[in-house]
């Protein structure tokens, strides 16, 4: 199902949560709403779900206006950050809940419900926990149950609010891959909120970067990472080196800032055209990559990420003089920078 | 508020509100109004006269004396037992804490009679009392004992629940810095539990001066305010009875006011102290 | 350091003196007196005890005490839910006053409540007169006992339910509605099952309180044996007639019931505490 968000704004008292948001989501896409806390991403998700109402604007599902529809009639599945499992029900009953509350004429028979819930529990490999209660499960297990509980009613849209936010790093990584697989299998249009750029880049088909109640950029992970539309997106999606006033064709009076990703810094031991002399002041090996801390001749600090084989090849060590070349530089005007830079 | 959570329909909401207010109106507001209405029905002069009768004054004196004694005893006990329970681990601690609550569940009548069975002329220690010329039952001592029994849990409960959640770290820090028990208690523990202590003391005192069941059993010919009210009412002297009752009601209202402001401004208690 | 043996590893001082004093105090005030009560009740032998504790008059009194307490607790559970719901979920004018009034029966001496209720419900009272035209005798009747017991039990359900309703996580209600549940389904299938232990424990507390109540009932009850005589009143009556053994026997029965309530409320309280841990 496609989702169309038209001119949606929302204020909480004086606090502006969403400012004139327009967004369209294609059927079957897995979209990430990415942004720092307070950027409005969760509010947008809750408005799509019908858990919150927009002050202005509307939402269309498959071209039909559902702005005034109740949560129940929207046919969405919602996954909460803290699972929101019913703690007085066991796992089976939690998953069956949505099937059991359907009006009598739409409701499946007890046997069909049983069959369907068991199938879903198989899907998340938790069928042996059917009789367990939520407090007996780990965080990862709870979130998987919350997910299949939402899927049980066969929603047309799956909405996930920071689904992995409450889990520890390792479980989070596992569940990410699992969510991607699940999405590929079910093909249900999905939208998830996250503040973790790695999560968004890894899982989503499309990323919508939000900041201060507005959409900064939308596009595929490659697009937003390689071609950030604003300094905010650039710095929010990965590590950067900043240089002031380095624009090659710098106009008089316009101050610029140049961004370079650490892995776009090349290190040479000999002078080349367009390289800048620097000294290595620190080396840190993290698995296959090496983080090299450097200082340019004018004292400006730079970080470079290179492979460890490259480091050995060059024979880098602390104190060594070398030469740096910057690839894929991105220049932004300074006032633009101050206007938008905020994490 | 979002409308995603549960919201009842308008009709149901109004029914709930109306039921709540009607119930409180009939069960609480009306009886309260009755007390003041009948106390002042025959005018203010009669009201003052009723309160200044020698019997009224002596009953108020007795009740204040009993209330103050029970309060003092139970405060000392409450602090001691709360310290032991919250700062130390020992066997059967849960049982001990449950026992502290016992006077809440025991009928006040039983609270009074146990002292008759112990110290009455026919009681286990009755003969010993007579031989040593100690009068406990049908005396102020008996009333104090019964009242203390009934109000024993208040201070202890209030302090235990707070001091347990506060843990031991601050006291341990004080001890490592060389403080002794009294210093630790006065300078570290007490400042952080003073509102809970006051809370317990207010409830204890309010309950102590209002007790009827326990006191009526052991009082004999002595008259606390509640007994005086009982007797006046049975003699159909209802405006005198209500005049005295209005004094107790006033004290109860003040106690309630203090209790509510402590709950509101010092949420140490988390509003979870009942009784 | 010998006396510190009872307490396990703690660097803090004064366990001995505080524990010793507290324990001594409790023995003196609670344990020894209650032991004396138990001893007195079997002073005349086992058969006398049974005879006294379960005489027809005593049985009738238990029945009145327990049934009236049950009705009162039931009424309080129903209206207490309304009050708790309103206090926990809404902001409205006079909320603080309503909140304070709920606690009034804790603070108001039972004797005062007794004379006020009796005056209100007697045949020429404000509520008693209209009741009488409807054929209900307000004061000096079983009805009166229930009224007094309702009064003393008002705060319990409210005080246990308000925190439970407040702590209901908003997300579980939202989750239920995203799964398609209608309002009444959210209420019965999600809200009630989550708070029913708190509700039950409020019911038990007000029931327990009502069973032991004496002060307010003695005014309004009429106190006729077999009709409007509650168990605590028999204890007092027998005591005044110097029938100590009979009196003690009935008191022991009541004490035993109190202990059951104490265990039950402790158990429910523990369940309540656990319920909050896992969301």
| Separation between Cα atoms, residue B82 and residue B194, nearest integer Å | 13
Q: List Cβ neighbours of A323 (8 Å cut-off, separation of 6 or more).
A: A267, A268, A269, A270, A271, A272, A275, A276, A277, A278
Name the region of A13 (left: φ>0; alpha: ψ -120 to 50; beta: rest).
left
Same structural domain for residues B79 and B162? yes
Which 3 state secondary structure label does DSSP give C125? coil
Chain A hits for B3, CB-CB cut-off 8 Å, are: 51, 53
Q: Which residue of C has its CA nearest to B114?
A: C33
Same structural domain for residues C21 and C91? no
Residue B35: give the domain boundaries.
1-39
**Partner-chain contact B217 C96, CB within 8 Å:** no
The residue written with tokens 């009827």 in the block is B212
Beta bridge partners of A191: A31, A159
DSSP C192-254: HHHHHHHHHHHHHHHHHHHHH--HHHHHHS---TTTT--HHHHHHHHHHTT-HHHHHHHHHHH
What is the model's pLDDT at position C52?
86
Same structural domain for residues C122 and C29? no
Same structural domain for residues C17 and C117? no
In a domain, C38, yes or no: yes
The residue written with tokens 């006046």 in the block is B232
Q: Which residue of B has its CA nearest to C83?
A: B20
Confidence (pTM): 0.81
Position C183 pLDDT exceeds 80: yes
In a domain, B91, yes or no: yes
Same structural domain for residues C168 and C37? no
DSSP B150-200: HHTHHHHHHHHHHHHHH-SHHHHHHHHTT--HHHHIIIIIHHHHHHHHHHH
What's A17's DSSP letter?
E
If one counts the domains in chain C, the total is: 2
Pairing between β-strand A157-161 and β-strand A76-79 as defined by DSSP bridges: parallel
**Partner-chain contact C11 B175, CB within 8 Å:** yes
In a domain, C93, yes or no: yes
User: Chains meeting A at 3+ CB pairs closer than 8 A?
Assistant: B, C
What is the model's pLDDT at position A245?
62
Question: Looking at the complex, does the CB of residue B4 fall below 8 Å from at least one CB of chain A?
Answer: yes
Q: What does the pLDDT look like over B50-104, one tens digit per residue?
A: 899 998 999 999 999 999 999 999 999 999 999 999 888 888 888 888 889 888 8
Same structural domain for residues C166 and C207? yes
Same structural domain for residues B33 and B168? no
| Candidate from C172, C181, C182 with C-beta closest to A84 | C172
Question: Looking at the complex, does the CB of residue C172 fall below 8 Å from at least one CB of chain A?
Answer: yes
Closest CA to A211 of A199, A229, A198: A229
Q: Is the separation of the CB atoms in A325 and A274 below 8 Å?
A: yes
What is the model's pLDDT at position C253?
93
**Partner-chain contact A84 C182, CB within 8 Å:** no
Chain C hits for B242, CB-CB cut-off 8 Å, are: 115
Q: Is the separation of the CB atoms in A322 and A267 below 8 Å?
A: yes
What is the model's pLDDT at position B270?
44
Tell me how close the Cα of A73 comes to any Cα of chain C, in angstroms: 7
**Partner-chain contact C86 B230, CB within 8 Å:** no
Which 3 state secondary structure label does DSSP give C275? helix
Q: Is the separation of the CB atoms in B244 and B56 below 8 Å?
A: yes
- The residue-averaged pLDDT of C77-98 equals 92
Tell me how close the Cα of A50 comes to any Cα of chain B, in angstroms: 7
What's B214's DSSP letter?
H
Q: Which residue of C has its CA nearest to A72?
A: C180
| Separation between Cα atoms, residue A200 and residue A197, nearest integer Å | 5
In a domain, B275, yes or no: no
Residue C23: give the domain boundaries.
13-42
| Candidate from A49, A72, A134 with C-beta closest to C278 | A134
In a domain, C49, yes or no: no
User: Chains meeting B at 3+ CB pairs closer than 8 A?
Assistant: A, C
Edge-to-edge strand list for the sheet holding A256-260? A241-244, A256-260, A330-333
**Partner-chain contact C107 B105, CB within 8 Å:** no
DSSP B101-152: THHHHS-HHHHHHHHHHHHSTTSTTHHHHHHTT---TTSHHHHHHHHHHHHT
Same structural domain for residues B133 and B59? yes
Position C211 pLDDT exceeds 70: yes
| Separation between Cα atoms, residue B150 and residue C174, nearest integer Å | 46
Which element (helix H / strand E) includes B8? none
**Partner-chain contact C22 B77, CB within 8 Å:** yes
Q: Which residue of C has its CA nearest to B246?
A: C112
| Separation between Cα atoms, residue B57 and residue B61, nearest integer Å | 6
Same structural domain for residues C201 and C74? yes
Q: What does the pLDDT look like over A280-332, one tens digit per residue?
A: 988 888 888 889 998 888 888 888 898 888 888 888 888 888 888 888 888 87
Sign of torsion, CA A52 A58 A61 A64? positive
Same structural domain for residues B138 and B172? yes
What is the model's pLDDT at position A48?
93
In a domain, C1, yes or no: no
Beta bridge partners of A295: A279, A301
Q: Is the separation of the CB atoms in C107 and C115 below 8 Å?
A: no
DSSP B56-69: HHHHHHHHHHHHHH
Which 3 state secondary structure label does DSSP give A31? strand
Q: Which two tokens stand for residue B151?
A: 């109000």
In a domain, C21, yes or no: yes
What's B187's DSSP letter?
I
Q: Is the separation of the CB atoms in B159 and B80 below 8 Å?
A: no
Same structural domain for residues B26 and B146? no
Half-sphere exposure of B100 (CA within 13 A, CB side): 24
| Candidate from C10, C212, C259 with C-beta closest to B107 | C212
Name the region of A299 (left: φ>0; alpha: ψ -120 to 50; beta: rest).
left
| Candidate from B100, B168, B245 with C-beta closest to C112 | B245
What's A164's DSSP letter?
T
**Partner-chain contact C30 B103, CB within 8 Å:** yes
Interface of C with B in 126-185 (CB under 8 A): 126-127, 150-151, 154-156, 159-160, 162-163, 170, 173-174, 176-178, 183
In a domain, B258, yes or no: yes
Tell me how close the Cα of A53 comes to any Cα of chain B, in angstroms: 7
Q: Which residue of A has its CA nearest to C195?
A: A88
Q: Which two tokens stand for residue A175?
A: 């569940």
pLDDT, averaged across chain C? 87
- Residue A266 — φ and ψ, nearest 5°? -100, 140
In a domain, B170, yes or no: yes
Q: Is the separation of the CB atoms in A31 and A206 below 8 Å?
A: yes
Distances (CA, A) of A153 to A56, A64, A99, A120, A123: 30, 20, 6, 11, 15
Position C153 pLDDT exceeds 80: yes
Distances (CA, A) of A215 to A19, A28, A34, A246, B245: 9, 21, 10, 28, 69
Chain A hits for C172, CB-CB cut-off 8 Å, are: 84-86
CB atoms within 10 A of CB C20: 15
Q: How confident is the model at residue C254 (pLDDT cuts 50, 70, 90)?
A: very high
Position C148 pLDDT exceeds 90: yes
Q: Which residue of C has its CA nearest to A133?
A: C278
Q: Is the separation of the CB atoms in C3 and B88 below 8 Å?
A: no
Same structural domain for residues C213 and C184? yes
Q: Is the separation of the CB atoms in B156 and B271 below 8 Å?
A: no
| Separation between Cα atoms, residue B196 and residue A270, nearest integer Å | 75
If one counts the domains in chain B, the total is: 2
Same structural domain for residues C94 and C177? yes
Q: How confident is the model at residue C7 (pLDDT cuts 50, 70, 90)?
A: low
Chain B hits for C208, CB-CB cut-off 8 Å, are: 105
Q: Is the separation of the CB atoms in A217 and A228 below 8 Å?
A: yes
**Partner-chain contact C179 A83, CB within 8 Å:** no
| Candidate from C103, C156, C177 with C-beta closest to B259 | C103
In a domain, C4, yes or no: no
Same structural domain for residues B18 and B31? yes
**Partner-chain contact B81 C25, CB within 8 Å:** yes
Closest CA to A237 of A194, A279, A201, A189: A201
Position B2 pLDDT exceeds 90: no
Same structural domain for residues B32 and B103? no
As a whole number of angstroms, the longest Cα–Cα distance in chain C is 75
Residue B74 burial class via C-beta count within 10 angstroms: exposed 0-12, middle 13-18, buried 19 and up: buried
Closest CA to A24 of A208, A183, A184: A208
| Candidate from C171, C178, C277 with C-beta closest to A77 | C178
CB atoms within 10 A of CB A323: 16
Q: What does the pLDDT look like over A184-227, one tens digit per residue?
A: 988 899 999 999 888 898 899 999 999 999 999 999 999 988 88
Q: What is the CATH number of the domain that holds B130?
A: 1.10.3720.10
Question: Looking at the complex, does the CB of residue A130 fall below 8 Å from at least one CB of chain C?
Answer: no
What is the model's pLDDT at position A115?
93
Same structural domain for residues C133 and C37? no
Interface of A with C in 302-321 (CB under 8 A): none
Question: Looking at the complex, does the CB of residue B3 fall below 8 Å from at least one CB of chain A?
Answer: yes
In a domain, B231, yes or no: yes
Tell me how close the Cα of C88 comes to any Cα of chain A, in angstroms: 20
**Partner-chain contact C12 B101, CB within 8 Å:** no
Which 3 state secondary structure label does DSSP give A209? strand
Same structural domain for residues B120 and B74? yes
CB atoms within 10 A of CB B40: 15
Same structural domain for residues B71 and B200? yes
In a domain, C173, yes or no: yes
Distances (CA, A) of B226 to B108, B252, C140: 14, 13, 20
Q: Which residue of B has its CA nearest to A50?
A: B4
CB atoms within 10 A of CB C4: 15
The H-assigned helical ranges of A153-280 are: 169-186, 197-203, 221-226, 231-236
The residue written with tokens 């060389």 in the block is B178
Q: What does the pLDDT look like over C10-49, one tens digit per residue?
A: 667 788 888 889 999 998 888 888 988 888 888 888 888 8
| Separation between Cα atoms, residue A291 and residue A259, nearest integer Å | 18
Chain A hits for C181, CB-CB cut-off 8 Å, are: 72, 97-98, 101
Q: How confident is the model at residue C9 (pLDDT cuts 50, 70, 90)?
A: low
Interface of A with C in 41-70 (CB under 8 A): 49, 51, 70
Tell me how close the Cα of B11 comes to any Cα of chain A, in angstroms: 20
DSSP A238-269: S--EEEES--TTPPTT--EEEEE-GGGEEEES
Position B153 pLDDT exceeds 60: yes
In a domain, B121, yes or no: yes
| Separation between Cα atoms, residue B143 and residue B218, nearest integer Å | 6
Q: What is the ipTM score, two decimals?
A: 0.87
Same structural domain for residues C64 and C36? no
pLDDT, one tens digit for every residue, chain A (343 residues):
899 999 999 998 888 899 999 999 999 999 999 999 889 999 999 999 988 889 999 999 998 998 888 888 888 999 998 888 998 899 999 999 999 988 888 888 999 999 999 999 988 888 899 999 999 999 889 998 999 999 898 898 999 999 888 788 888 888 888 889 889 988 899 999 999 888 898 899 999 999 999 999 999 999 988 888 888 888 888 788 877 766 555 555 667 788 888 888 888 888 888 888 899 988 888 888 889 998 888 888 888 898 888 888 888 888 888 888 888 888 877 655 444 443 3
In a domain, C258, yes or no: yes
Chain A hits for C164, CB-CB cut-off 8 Å, are: none
Same structural domain for residues C36 and C62? no
Q: List Cβ neighbours of C161 (8 Å cut-off, separation of 6 or more).
A: C80, C81, C84, C85, C88, C195, C198, C199, C202
Interface of C with B in 107-126 (CB under 8 A): 107-120, 126
What's C137's DSSP letter?
-
Tell me how close the Cα of B124 comes to any Cα of chain C, in angstroms: 8
Tell me how close the Cα of B95 comes to any Cα of chain A, in angstroms: 28
Torsion from C-alpha of A187, A189, A192, A198, nearest 10 degrees: 50
Pairing between β-strand A321-326 and β-strand A206-211 as defined by DSSP bridges: unpaired
What is the model's pLDDT at position A18?
93
Same structural domain for residues C20 and C149? no
Chain B hits for C127, CB-CB cut-off 8 Å, are: 26, 30
Size of interface A-C (CB pairs under 8 A): 72
Q: List Cβ neighbours of B219 (8 Å cut-off, separation of 6 or more).
A: B138, B142, B143, B227
Distance between start and end Cα atoms, chain A? 33
What is the model's pLDDT at position B183?
83
């Amino acid at each position: 199902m496609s989702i169309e968000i038209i001119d949606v704004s929302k204020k909480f008292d004086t606090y502006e949560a969403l400012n004139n948001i327009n967004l369209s989501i294609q059927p079957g896409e897995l979209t990430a709403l990415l942004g720092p806390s307070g950027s409005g991403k969760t509010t947008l998700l809750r408005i799509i779900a019908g858990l919150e109402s927009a002050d202005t604007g509307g939402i269309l599902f498959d071209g039909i206006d559902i702005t005034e529809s109740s949560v129940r009639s929207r046919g969405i599945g919602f996954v909460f950050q803290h699972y929101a499992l019913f703690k007085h029900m066991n796992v089976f009953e939690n998953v069956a809940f949505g099937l059991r509350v359907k009006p009598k004429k739409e409701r499946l028979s007890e046997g069909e419900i049983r069959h369907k819930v068991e199938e879903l529990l198989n899907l998340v490999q938790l069928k042996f926990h059917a009789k367990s209660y939520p407090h007996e499960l780990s965080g990862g297990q709870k979130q998987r149950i919350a997910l299949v509980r939402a899927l049980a009613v066969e929603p047309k849209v799956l909405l996930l609010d920071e689904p992995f936010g409450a889990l520890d790093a390792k479980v989070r990584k596992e569940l990410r891959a699992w969510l991607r697989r699940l999405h590929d299998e079910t093909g249900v249009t999905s939208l998830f909120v996250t503040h973790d750029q790695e999560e968004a880049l890894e899982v989503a088909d499309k990323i919508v970067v939000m900041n201060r109640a507005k959409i900064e950029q939308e596009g595929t992970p490659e697009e937003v990472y390689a071609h950030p539309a604003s300094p905010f997106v650039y710095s929010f999606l990965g590590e950067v080196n900043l240089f002031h006033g380095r624009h090659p064709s710098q106009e008089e009076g316009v101050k610029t800032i140049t961004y370079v990703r650490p892995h776009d810094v090349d290190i040479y031991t000999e002078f080349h055209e367009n390289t800048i002399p620097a000294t290595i002041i620190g080396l840190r090996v993290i698995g296959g990559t090496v983080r090299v801390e450097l200082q340019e001749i004018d004292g400006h600090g730079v970080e470079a990420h290179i492979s460890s084989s490259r480091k050995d090849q060059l024979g880098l060590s602390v104190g060594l003089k070398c030469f740096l070349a910057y690839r894929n530089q991105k220049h932004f005007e300074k006032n633009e920078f101050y206007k938008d830079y905020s994490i | 508020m979002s409308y995603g959570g549960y919201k009842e329909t308008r009709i149901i909401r109004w029914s709930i509100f109306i039921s709540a207010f009607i119930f409180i109106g009939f069960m609480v507001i009306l009886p309260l109004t009755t007390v003041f209405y009948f106390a002042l029905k025959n005018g203010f002069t009669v009201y003052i006269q009723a309160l200044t009768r020698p019997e009224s004054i002596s009953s108020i004196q007795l009740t204040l004396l009993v209330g103050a004694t029970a309060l003092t005893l139970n405060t000392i006990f409450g602090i001691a037992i709360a310290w032991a329970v919250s700062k130390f681990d020992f066997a059967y601690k849960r049982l001990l804490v449950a026992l502290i609550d016992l006077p809440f569940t025991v009928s006040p009548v039983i609270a009074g009679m146990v002292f008759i069975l112990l110290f009455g002329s026919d009681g286990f220690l009755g003969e010993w009392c007579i031989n040593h010329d100690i009068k406990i039952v049908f005396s102020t001592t008996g009333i104090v004992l019964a009242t203390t029994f009934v109000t024993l849990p208040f201070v202890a409960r209030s302090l235990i629940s707070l001091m347990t959640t506060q843990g031991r770290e601050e006291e341990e820090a004080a001890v490592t810095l060389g403080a002794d028990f009294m210093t630790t208690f006065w300078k570290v523990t007490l400042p952080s539990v003073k509102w809970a202590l006051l809370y317990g003391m207010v409830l204890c005192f309010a309950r102590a001066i209002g007790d009827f069941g326990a006191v009526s059993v052991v009082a004999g010919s002595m008259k606390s305010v509640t007994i005086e009210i009982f007797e006046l009412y049975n003699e159909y002297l209802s405006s005198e009875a209500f005049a005295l009752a209005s004094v107790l009601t006033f004290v109860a209202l003040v106690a309630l006011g203090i209790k509510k402001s402590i709950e509101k401004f010092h949420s140490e208690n988390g509003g979870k102290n009942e009784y | 350091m010998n006396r510190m043996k009872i307490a396990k590893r703690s660097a803090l001082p004064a366990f001995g003196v505080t524990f010793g004093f507290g324990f001594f105090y409790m023995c003196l005030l609670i344990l020894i007196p209650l032991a004396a009560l138990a001893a007195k009740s079997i002073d005349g032998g086992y058969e006398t005890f049974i005879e006294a504790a379960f005489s027809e008059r005593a049985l009738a009194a238990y029945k009145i005490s327990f049934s009236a307490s049950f009705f009162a607790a039931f009424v309080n559970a129903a209206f207490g839910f309304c009050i708790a719901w309103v206090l926990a979920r809404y902001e409205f004018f006079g909320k603080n006053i309503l909140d304070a009034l709920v606690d009034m029966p804790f603070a108001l001496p039972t004797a005062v409540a007794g004379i006020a209720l009796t005056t209100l419900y007697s045949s020429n009272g404000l509520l008693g007169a209209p009741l009488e035209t409807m054929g209900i005798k307000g004061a000096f009747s079983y009805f009166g006992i229930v009224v007094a017991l309702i009064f003393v039990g008002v705060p319990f359900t409210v005080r246990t339910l308000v925190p439970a309703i407040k702590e209901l996580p908003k997300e579980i209600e939202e989750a239920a509605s995203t799964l398609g549940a209608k309002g009444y389904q959210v209420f019965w299938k999600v809200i009630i099952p989550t708070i029913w232990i708190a509700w039950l424990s409020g019911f038990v507390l007000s029931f327990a309180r009502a069973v032991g109540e004496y002060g307010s009932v003695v005014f309004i009850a009429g106190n006729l044996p077999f009709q409007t005589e509650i168990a605590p009143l028999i204890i007092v009556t027998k005591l005044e007639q110097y029938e100590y053994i009979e009196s003690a026997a009935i008191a022991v029965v009541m004490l035993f019931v109190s202990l059951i309530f104490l265990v039950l409320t402790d158990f429910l309280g523990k369940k309540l505490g656990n319920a909050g841990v896992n969301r």
